[in-house]
Amino acid sequence: MKLLVSVNTCQLDPYIEHGADGFLLPLTSFSTDFETTYCLEEMIMIRKKYPQVCLFVVMNAMIFNQDLKEVEKILKTLETYHFDGIFFYDWAIYKIHLQNQLKTPLVWNQTYMVTNQATANFLYEKGISYGVLSSEITKDEIKNITESPMKFFMYLVGFLPVGLSRRKLLTHFYKTLGKNGKKKLLVREDSTHMPFLFHETLQGTSILYGKCFNAAPFYKELSSMSIAYGILKQDYLEKSIFLKVLSFYANEKDLEELIVETGNLIGRNTGFLARKTVFKVKKEKSNERG
Q: Report the 10 Å Cβ neighbour count for 12.
A: 19
255-266 vs 239-250: helix crossing angle, rounded to 10: 160
287 part of the interface to other proteins, by CB under 8 A:
yes
Smallest distance, Å, CB 20 to other proteins? 27
200 near other proteins, judged by CB under 8 A? no
Q: Which stretch binds other proteins (CB under 8 A): 22-30, 227-235, 255-263, 272-280?
A: 272-280
Choose between 28 and 115: whose C-beta lies nearer to other proteins: 115
Parallel, antiparallel or unpaired: strands 161-165 and 204-209: antiparallel
- Cβ contacts of 168 within 8 Å, gap of 6 or more: 200, 204, 205
Binding of residue 64 to other proteins (CB under 8 A): yes
CA distance 203 to 37: 13
By the rule CB under 8 A, 73 interacts with other proteins = no
| Contact by Cβ (8 Å): 109, 132 | yes
Quick one: three-class SS letters along 6-67? ECCCCCCHHHHHCCCCEEEEEECCCCCCCCCCECHHHHHHHHHHCCCCEEEEEECCCCCHHH
What is the pattern of x (binds other proteins, CB under 8 A) and - over residues 204-233?
---x-x------------------------
CA distance 261 to 280: 38
**Is residue 122 near other proteins by the rule CB under 8 A?**
yes
Residues 138-197 that bind other proteins (CB under 8 A): 141, 144-145, 161-169, 171-173, 175-177, 185-192, 194, 196
Q: Which residues bind other proteins (CB under 8 A)?
A: 62-65, 67-68, 89-92, 94-96, 110-113, 115-119, 121-123, 136-137, 141, 144-145, 161-169, 171-173, 175-177, 185-192, 194, 196, 198, 207, 209, 272, 275, 277-281, 283, 287-290
